[in-house]
Amino acid sequence: PPPPKKINYHGAFINVAHRGASGHAPENTIAAFDKAVAMHATSFEFDVQRTKDGHLVIMHDTTVDRTTNGKGAVKDLTLKQIRKLDAGSWFGKSFAGEKVPTLRETLKRYRTKPIRIVIELKKPELYPGIEKQVAHMLTKTGLTVIPSKVTVQSFNASSIKKYHHLQPRVKTGVIVSLTEYSKGVPEQKLTEWKAFANYINPNYKLVNKSLVKKIHDRKMKILPYTILDKKTATAVRDMGVDGMITNYPELGK
Ligand code: G3P
Ligand code: CA
């Protein structure tokens, strides 16, 4: 079908449901993404990896152990093996039978829904060529023709640089971890990232007014992660961030 003329997204303050509304439903499942839609989050975020037989699936950890009833690394299991797993029961009985979603079904399901999509390339260094594969999937599902529908982000900045060059029209983000930048984020890095990223998404503990200004001066946006309580939500809002990444979308209201 042709792309919708206009989709009305929620919120001037960008309220991103982290791994879906993962405080309310099992992370990185359709249940958690549907919940994000129901709660009128601006966007939902999830993590993409690749199966042994080359399919793109949504899973945070590099193994299925924590969030399913199976065992093993995503890259050592076939799609068929992964689709048999229960990705909901660990979170609560009422979610029994939730499946590990594929990237394709997720993009198709939310294409015309009033919510934006944030795709994290999780450990892309384990999956050579995943940037090209994700870009191809975005084109194939018609996502690239809907302005600002999708952001692609990663902790791996070189992967994002690669992605930007493959698909310059899609927005991109660099995620900044506390362990890698415990001494703060150097300005030189921000300048480097500016060449290929629209968003800088740091651990909230790295955020202060000066960092927000440096990011805004470079015409980028900042969305700290992962906000779990009202106090932290208020603190980062007071520092002038553009939005936040949270397990509880009600905190961004
Ligand atoms: O969106 C940022 C956040 O998702 C990064 O941390 O470990 O939840 O993927 P993680
Ligand atoms: Ca993530």
Query: Which residue lies with its CA nearest to atom 2 of ligand 1?
Result: 225
In whole angstroms, give the CA distance from residue 111 to residue 113.
6
Q: What is the pLDDT of residue 174?
A: 98
CATH fold, domain 14-252, is: TIM Barrel (3.20.20)
Give me the mean pLDDT over the 23-42 stretch.
Answer: 98
- Is 175 touching ligand 1 by the criterion CB < 6 Å? yes
Mutate to test the pocket of ligand 1, among 16, 60, 122, 203 (most ligand atoms within 8 A of CB): 60
Structural domain boundaries of the chain? 14-252
Measure the N-to-C terminal CA separation of the chain; round to a whole number of Å. 33
Chain segment 226-241, per-residue pLDDT in tens? 999 999 999 999 999 9
Q: What percent of the chain has pLDDT over 90?
A: 96
pLDDT at 148: 93
Torsion angles phi and psi, residue 62, rounded to 5: -75, -10
Q: Of 18, 24, 55, 164, which residue is the catalytic one?
A: 18
The interface pTM score, or ipTM, of the predicted complex is: 0.98
Find the helix or strand (DSSP H, E) in which 219 lies: none
**Residue nearest ligand 1's atom 10 by CA:** 60
The angle formed by the CA atoms of residues 23, 249 and 7, to the nearest 5 degrees, is 130
What pTM did the predictor assign?
0.98
Whether 39 has a pLDDT exceeding 80, the answer reads: yes
pLDDT digits (tens, 9 = 90+) for 108-161: 999 999 999 999 999 999 999 999 999 999 999 999 999 899 999 999 999 999
- Is 18 among the residues known to form the active site? yes
By the 10 Å C-beta count (0-12 exposed, 13-18 middle, 19+ buried), 31 is classed as buried
pLDDT at residue 215 above 90?
Answer: yes
pLDDT > 80? residue 1: no
**Which whole number is the average pLDDT over 171-179?**
98
DSSP state of 203: B
